Amino acid sequence: MKKLFFLAIMLVMCFSVEAQTQSQVKQQISRAAAQLRSMQCDFVQTKHVKMLNQNVVSTGKMYYQRSDKLRWEYVTPYKYSFILNGSKVKINGPRRSDVINVQRNKVFKEIANIMMSSVVGNCLTDTGSFKVSIADGKTEWVATLLPRRKEMKQMFQNIKLYFNKQNSMVTKVELTEKNGDRTVIVLKNVKANVSIPANTFSVA
Handedness of CA 57, 61, 64, 70 (dihedral sign): negative
Q: Is it the case that residue 197 has pLDDT exceeding 90?
A: yes
Cβ(83)–Cβ(59) under 8 Å?
no
What is the rounded (10 degree) CA torsion for 153, 60, 117, 66?
-150
Cβ(120)–Cβ(63) under 8 Å?
no
pTM of the model: 0.82
* DSSP symbol at 87: T
Q: Which CATH superfamily is domain 2-80+116-201 in?
A: Lipoprotein localisation LolA/LolB/LppX (2.50.20.10)
Q: Give the span between the Cα atoms of 115 and 155, in whole angstroms.
A: 14
pLDDT at 7: 39
What average pLDDT does the chain have? 83
Contacts 24+ apart (CB under 8 A), 154-162: 154/178, 155/107, 155/110, 156/114, 159/114, 159/118, 159/123, 159/130, 161/118, 161/121, 161/123, 161/124
- If pLDDT is split at 50, 70 and 90, which confidence band does 199 have? very high
Over residues 156-194, the pLDDT tens digits come to 999 999 999 988 888 999 999 999 999 999 999 999 999
Over residues 108-117, the pLDDT tens digits come to 777 777 777 7
**Residue extents of the structural domains in the chain:** 2-80+116-201
- In the chain, the amino acid numbered 32 is A
Over residues 37-88, the pLDDT tens digits come to 999 999 999 999 988 888 999 999 999 998 889 999 999 998 999 899 988 9
